[in-house]
Amino acid sequence: MTRGRVTGPAGPNKAAKDRSEGGKRSAMTPESDPGDGPTRDTILRTRRRQSSERTPPARGEMARGAAVIAKALKTLPGSPGVYRMLDRRGDALYVGKAKNLKKRVSSYCHTDRLPHRLQRMVAATVSLEVVTTHTETEALLLESNLIKRLMPRYNVLLRDDKSFPYILIADDHEFPQIVKHRGARTRSGAYFGPFASAGAVNRTVTALEKGFLLRSCSDGVFSARTRPCLMYQIKRCAAPCVGRIGTADYGVLVRQARDFLTGRSHDMQQDLAGAMQEASDRLDFETAAVYRDRIRALTQIQSRQDINLEGLDDADVVAAYQEAGETSIQVFFFRAGRNYGNRAYFPRHDKTLSPEEVLSAFVPQFYENKPVPKTILVSHALNDQNLIAEALSVRADRRIGILKPARGPKRKLVEHALSNARDAMGRRLAESSAQRELLEGLADRLGLDSTPERIEVYDNSHIQGSDPYGAMIVAGPEGFMKNAYRKYRIKEALNPDGGDDYAMMREVMTRRFSRALKEDPERESEQWPGLLLIDGGRGQLSAVREALADLGLSDIAVAGIAKGPERNAGREQIFQPERSQPLLLEPRDPVLYFLQRLRDEAHRFVIGSHRAGRTKSRLQSVLDGVPGIGPKRKKALLHRFGSAQAVARAGLADLESVEGINKVVAKKIYDYFHTDG
């Protein structure tokens, strides 16, 4: 690949950095248009932005942007590649791929032929960055990667950071472990999935434990057992840890579990039924009951697979439904002929795009970081469908087929997914309407200039000043925006006599908005709140206002919420700078319930952050002080013994048996925990 960059007269002089900060936007939430979204706390700006979505930009701005593109054309090749339109801050406005870069980019010079969305993009463009590739397929792969990473404003955007859960049957131990797995597949073993939800995986793992008696404990717990655990007592493990089953017999159970998960369940269940009958004929009813319970557990898994299609092996069904300028995409996962569940997505895109266009952008992004099945069934034919299939085949290193079925069982499956997408859209629109009413009610009760599109709620947590954390949660028209949540490890506002809540709040505000000003000094992005809600009373509110005033941000609306008189949790008081007395809402006011829910969510998040930090610091205090223990040896010790406390109790011979721990280091560790004084 080769890279090139052309900068306009008003553009930056240095190369734009690939910024991932754009990925901090709301997770997989639809927005009516890339230009829409949370605004500042004035109704004038909201109306101006909404109006700009329907009208083209000024001709002078378009002319400047077109001049930048025309200048870039002089050096562009006629080969495949990826181009990036950049704004004055160096952020990507749009990422596109082309079979012929020169021909494709030249179309942006004819601004009168472009839709208003692309006219606004051209007007904001001050520089162009280009990467040439060997083939159009390679360009498509690079394009989907860059869109996921840079989150350009004018692309169809899918923010999907949450990985899918899998079932892993590991093979790095004499007695393989069955476990739920997320993330990179670094551990050796057989992976089965993806499953649409953690609940589906947990139910399946539980049933597999009952059906095949495989262990789910860690290697450290396994090696430390001296008698069977509770899992053996409730008939969900064969207890290989204490020799209740041999390696060969356990291997048979592992093989049966793999056969079941790879679709060979019918023959395997027939074998179990035969074994049950044989045990019954011998009058060995206890053994027969074991086989019966195993068959029941496996049948339970199959009974939950409410949609199954004969002859469909590994496939995903992707269906898109549009309404009110938004798109709901439903993805069903089928593996080994079984339905592993479904998940809904709401990508952000321009409201003028068709379902075909949205789906064509969605599919490459969706599989950019996920395994691709053999077949993808779609509700609408994709633009460049053959090219997308070829790109996915390159990524998967095997042939991938994309099909829009016209009739038969596969068509019915797509129609079922489309029905689910329609229902999900209906629920989302209903929820958005209810949420919008609450936001409007909140603006009315607090006397705000406009309805807040983004509310940030802050809270602190500590125990007498130890392990102090601050946290921010975010809510908007679509509900809680969990991808925008942030936690802050308090660094400076520490008091040896206890926690200083006011200083902590000032530090959090300073860190949050200093960074925001650095990234967006003009305050034009979607990351600026319409309302700050503080868990606390007049003192916390004053601390926040002081911090904001120091940064020149006195125009941001701020309110505090505290429990009512006599700490009555049902009569919260609302503090505002302009009110001399706190506001008390009616006990049954929906806005009061809304505020309580916001406060409780912030409290839940900060408590979780504090507990996780406290656990981490305790773990560090136990092992990190041992001389000669670095990250690798620490990991090996925890893997072997299961916990830092178990390391402290371990004998010298046990420590020497850990990989990477020699006799000298083992003696240091032992002496550290066993020397008096």
- Domains in the chain and their CATH numbers? 2-150 (3.40.1440.10), 166-304 (no CATH), 315-426 (3.30.420.10), 455-616 (3.30.420.340), 624-674 (1.10.150.20)
| Secondary structure letter of residue 15 according to DSSP | P
- Residue 676's pLDDT is what? 56
| Helix extents (H) in 447-526 | 501-519
- Residue 162's pLDDT is what? 67
- Per-residue tokens: 189: 């073993």
- Per-residue tokens: 144: 């989907």
Whether 121 contacts 83, CB under 8 Å? no
- Residue 499's pLDDT is what? 54
- Residue 16's pLDDT is what? 39
CA-CA distance, 463 to 38, in Å (whole number)? Answer: 35
Instruction: Tell how strand 81-86 and strand 178-181 pair up.
Output: unpaired
Report phi then psi at 535, rounded to 5: -80, 95
Q: Which residue has the tokens 């496939």?
A: 315
Q: How far is CA 60 from the centre of its chain?
A: 41
Report phi then psi at 199, rounded to 5: -60, -40
Whether 573 contacts 537, CB under 8 Å? yes
Instruction: Tell how strand 531-535 and strand 455-463 pair up.
Output: parallel
Ramachandran bin of 73, using left for φ above 0, alpha for ψ from -120 to 50, beta for the remaining angles: alpha
| Helix extents (H) in 562-643 | 590-623, 631-641
- Residue 569's pLDDT is what? 57
Strands (E), 227-337: 315-323, 326-335
Whether 368 contacts 163, CB under 8 Å? no
Q: Which residue has the tokens 């610091």?
A: 617
CA-CA distance, 297 to 430, in Å (whole number)? Answer: 39
- Residue 38's pLDDT is what? 37
Angle of helix 247-261 relative to helix 198-212, nearest 10 degrees?
Answer: 140
Contacts of 229 (CB under 8 A, 6+ apart): 217, 237, 239, 241
- Per-residue tokens: 475: 């809510």
Dihedral angle of Cα 348, 353, 356, 360, to the nearest 10 degrees: -50
| Cα–Cα separations (whole angstroms), residue 31 to 24, 25, 124, 455, 465 | 15, 11, 20, 16, 41
CA-CA distance, 283 to 267, in Å (whole number)? Answer: 24
Whether 186 contacts 170, CB under 8 Å? no
Q: Count other C-beta atoms under 10 Å from residue 420's C-beta.
A: 19
Report phi then psi at 621, rounded to 5: -65, -25
Model-level pTM greater than 0.85? no
Three-point CA angle 50, 56, 59, nearest 5°: 135
Instruction: Tell how strand 375-378 and strand 315-323 pair up.
Output: parallel
Residues in the chain: 677
572-579: Cβ within 8 A, 24+ apart: 572/596, 572/599, 573/537, 574/445, 574/446, 575/537, 575/538, 575/541, 576/446, 576/447, 576/541, 577/541, 577/545, 578/447
Q: Which parts of the chain register pLDDT below 50?
A: 7-54, 305-306, 496-498, 677
- Per-residue tokens: 62: 């378009």
Among 263, 378, 269, 366, which residue's Cα sits nearest to residue 314?
263
Whether 485 contacts 605, CB under 8 Å? yes
Give yes or no for a cis peptide into 34 (omega within 30° of 0). no
- Residue 403's pLDDT is what? 93
| Secondary structure letter of residue 380 according to DSSP | S
Whether 355 contacts 105, CB under 8 Å? no
